Structure 1
């Protein structure tokens, strides 16, 4: 995310919930890839687990956040990580891997669907492009944020901040099928039970709020904005005796290039 500082510690506060879709995606990837690139690898905690699934594979994680890559290198020194930009990355840079993987990153790239032909065309026969993106942008967590960002109080500061966007599963399926791939596309809604005070705000602090927080450089303004947003979230996601439930829709795509 250009111009946005990521906080690996905040992101990893909900590591269990954040990593579950990654593992559900990986479980559907066929074959035994020999060369894997993980685009938007973040702090590397999920990337590193691929060495257990495919112990003989070469593995590279790429992310545009130096903070995330520093954390990944410190925690997982056996894996190769580097700073890079998904929007300009080409498979040729890494020897045309037979598995291109991306977990919860493509939503931050405007027009990311236009990158899919470049990646799919570079796959060898039997190679796979697999990605997962959030599909919950119509949920209160995001609609309330959009309304607040464009309200009279914050419009001048936040109206132009980066907003994530994705396609629907059938659109990804159609596009990648037309590129000569066999496509497995599906969606899942996880009912995540969060604990603690203002838990949905804490969740959003790790990802969706990063562009707004980057734009609010004044500490007082930032505190005011977070307090207002937190009140809205607490009302939309009330606490229950077993915790606060955050429904979270995810979209999954596994596209394998057909063998000749």
Structure 2
């Protein structure tokens, strides 16, 4: 005769049938941006580095002098703005995605470490969490990038540090709560090692909380990346991002506003769409908010 192992594993799902119009539009925009980013080399009409000095500063097609050859105009070097926005979108989303994933993994590991060892380890982790939360991340990122120099890999790692303390705080609290539940105690009694307990039995129960935090952290990471690139310490040429497009176009706001304004609109709409989608997922997946 075998005895079933007690479990407290939660199941969660998202009902897409009651999505409000704003969330539907946000989901459609996010899906469109994801497809464009994945197929950037296919949908971009030109190579984003192609220059045409004779065709520099051409306006968008809806303005006098604009042509369908360059629907969103050209920049100061004659490069197609639409092609550069598409490539910039891909790089910005890629950096934000990697940074969000690194932050989630780092925060989860640190949160589990604090919950497992407790005592002075937990105290040190909480001090680090409070320090990270109190220190403006832009200042920290500027200091690191200015001191160590800029490279794509270092920049992605810096983005990964952003927001880790939120994951660590959430995971630590949920892990401490789960450790006192019967199923976790039973698994330990049967001889499971701590790694198996946390990854196989405790982590699935907090999956919704981590996913919601990732959807809310992702647009913030995009804004941090674009801010650093705007200041010249983010993505460096010949690569391009939405932030350095705005930075390079600020000198032409009075004569060729589309160079800076159009990527700014993409940043605004994309981050707004992710934020609305993240808020809706939080309302659906957080049991304390469900039905309110």
TM-score by length of 2: 0.21
Structure number with the higher helix fraction is 2
Larger-gyration structure (1/2): 2
TM-score by length of 1: 0.23
Structure number with the higher strand fraction is 1
